[in-house]
Amino acid sequence: MELTKKGMTREAIFERLAEFRRNDIKWQEGRTYGYVFDPGSEVMAVGKAAYNEFLSENGLDFTVFQSLLRLERELAAFGARHLRGDEQVVGNFTSGGTESIILAVKAARDCYRSTHPQIHVPEIILPATAHAAFHKAAHYLGVKAVTVSVDPQTFRADVEKVKAAITKNTIMIVGSAPSYAHGVVDPIADLAALAHEKGLWMHTDACMGGFLLPYFRRLGEPVPDFDFTVPGVTSISVDLHKYAYTPKGASLVLYRNKGYRKHQIFACSGWIGYTIVNNAVQSSKSGGPMAAAWAVLNYIGDDGYLDIARKKLASVKKIAEGINRIDGLRLVTHPDMSLISFTADEVNVFHIVDEMNSRGWYIQPSLSFDNSPAHIHLSVNASNVGWEDELLNNLAECVDIARKLPEGELVSLVKESLKGMDMAAISDSDIMNLMAAAGVSDGMLPSRMADINGVLDLLPTRVRETVLTVFVNDMFTQP
Ligand SMILES: Cc1ncc(COP(=O)(O)O)c(C=O)c1O
């Protein structure tokens, strides 16, 4: 992009922006099962208006912008109450689940640094279903992520395996409520009891479920305790920009008390300039997401959220039952909330995804990992309610079509060449060649992704990560 000499008109700018968006998924149609949590245009308009009102306020200094201090305190207090904490519970607003998780890991690391200086490389124990954000946090913070398999039937964390992974360097145990991939709630009470017994930090990742599960409980669903009522739970991450339907950039990280939260805060006066004291990772940050979150929570209100939850629950049950009735498909496990994972033992799931997506749906492919098969993921949100029959009919049709599609030539080729290949020696140019053969060029992906997903699925995790890095490094270049 080159700057225009005299600037563009407002009209021309918005025309161009609309053009940029032309090939995006059409999430507004209600057939997108991920990425966008859409409460409908009326609620969105309230969120956008509040966002705009506070767009320019800067969360860098909450003594100057006392409105933001007020908003953050109110939102954290709401989170503490929603997750049944007492008056000791404190928390902060962050830009999303990943930031909340990075902060909780940092707090745990620094807390144990102060009490256990002999631990040089702290370890956090992650059931294989813990979100990738914990691996990112570990990577950024010099902490070792120790992954343990989950139960192969329920896909919940296996407490005995977690126990066996504890070493003298362990500082934290993580449980999900629910996990993203399979949508099941880990045995948080047992994990927290183990953490308590061993003197470890227990984090519940309730980014997905922290807001919604309490509503499902009120609707009579058997939701296990995962919040501050569970002794031993030290911190919880809960996103607002997911099932609270607030505009993106909205999550909370909560701690049982200030003694733990203290380790999250970063202060710096060792430079020439203004004094820095940050609760979160970002320094300068717009007040927009916070004001929008406050506005949407209050606009929808408790009855409104209960009503949305009721509809969503009915939708999830209908979809889950319907999937099990489709010849060739099966649920990977029964969902505890609104995240559904299903697979096909004799049909290529990646072909099913391509077929569905070419019909205007967005459903998400997931690679196999550890004891979990390659599968398809749906995050059901308010805007999907009412589409169940059409989704199931289309799925049945796509399974039949996918059943007849051959395995891609590339997948067979890679399968062959993987035999006897030294994965450690794979170079960036090998990867570029592989991608070119799969139809990836100039950072552009082919419209059908089954071959690429099929190849990725064959590769060991570290090689997959290298491929993704090479690809993205190539994608974000000058247009
Ligand atoms: C369980 C869980 N934790 C954390 C995250 C990360 O959240 P974000 O994408 O807002 O950073 C997600 C995202 O889907 C999630 O499902």
- Domain-embedded: residue 25: no
Q: Model confidence over 313-358: pLDDT tens digits?
A: 999 999 999 999 999 999 999 999 999 999 999 999 999 999 999 9
- Rounded to the nearest whole angstrom, what is the distance from the C-alpha of residue 17 to the centroid of ligand 1? 28
The pLDDT tens digits of the residues spanning 36-91 come to: 999 999 999 999 999 999 999 999 999 999 999 999 999 999 999 999 999 999 99
Ligand 1 interacting residues, C-beta cut-off 6 A:
96-98, 131, 133, 176, 180, 205, 207-208, 239
Which of 404, 431, 460 marks a domain boundary? 404
Contacts of 117 (CB under 8 A, 6+ apart): none
Name the residue of 33, 35, 95, 98 whose CB sits within 8 Å of the most ligand 1 atoms, as the mutation to test its pocket: 98
Q: What is the 345 CA–ligand 1 centroid distance (Å)?
A: 28
* Dist CA 68 CA 93 (whole Å): 10
The answer to whether 103 and 93 are in contact (CB under 8 A) is: no
Q: Give the number of the atom of ligand 1 that is nearest the alpha carbon of residue 206.
A: 1
Q: Please state the rounded mean pLDDT for residues 195-203.
A: 98
Taking CA atoms only, the protein residue closest to ligand 1 atom 4 is 97
Q: Which residue has the higher pLDDT, 363 or 446?
A: 363
Task: Quickly state the pLDDT bin for 433 (edges 50, 70, 90).
Answer: confident
**CB of 59 closer than 8 Å to CB of 386:** no
Residue 18 resides in a domain: no
Nearest alpha carbon to residue 240 among 385, 87, 43: 43
Model pLDDT, residue 463: 87
Residues 380 and 438 in one domain: no
pLDDT-derived band at 428, boundaries 50, 70, 90: confident
Residue 446: band (very low, low, confident or very high) from pLDDT cuts 50, 70, 90: confident
Listed residues 404, 439, 459: the one ending a domain: 404
Examine the domain organization and report whether 467 and 365 are in the same domain.
no
Do 261 and 217 fall into the same domain?
Answer: yes
* 42 within some domain: no
Q: Kindly state whether residues 395 and 464 are assigned to the same domain.
A: no
Distance CA 462, CA 201 (A): 28
Looking at residue 470, what is its pLDDT?
A: 86
Residue 457 lies in a domain: yes
Domain enclosing residue 463, as ranges: 409-475
User: Whose CA is closest to atom 5 on ligand 1?
Assistant: 97
Both 381 and 429 in one domain: the answer is no
Give the position, in ligand 1's atom list, of the atom nearest the Cα of 98: 11
Whether 415 shows a pLDDT value over 90: the answer reads no
Q: How far is the CA of 332 from the centre of ligand 1 (A)?
A: 20
Query: In whole angstroms, how far apart are CA 230 and each of 21, 224, 302, 401?
Result: 45, 10, 24, 48
Q: Are 260 and 309 within one domain?
A: no
**For residue 131, how far is its CA from the centre of ligand 1 (angstroms)?**
7
pLDDT of residue 373: 98
CA atoms of 276 and 432, how far apart (whole Å): 43
The predicted structure's pLDDT at residue 419: 73
pLDDT at position 190: 98
User: Where on the phi/psi map is residue 238: left (φ > 0), alpha (ψ -120 to 50), or beta?
Assistant: beta
Judge whether residue 471 has pLDDT over 90.
no
The whole-number pLDDT of residue 474 equals 84
Domain finish residue from 267, 295, 323: 295
Q: Is residue 40 part of a domain?
A: no
The domain spanning residue 344 has which CATH number?
A: 3.90.1150.10
Domains in the chain, number? 3
What's the gap in Å between 5 CA and the centre of ligand 1?
Answer: 42
Atom 9 of ligand 1, nearest CA residue: 97
pLDDT in tens, 278-311: 999 999 999 999 999 999 999 999 999 999 999 9
| CATH code for position 220 | 3.40.640.10
Is residue 145 located within the same domain as residue 277?
yes
pLDDT 10s digits, 204-251: 999 999 999 999 999 999 999 999 999 999 999 999 999 999 999 999
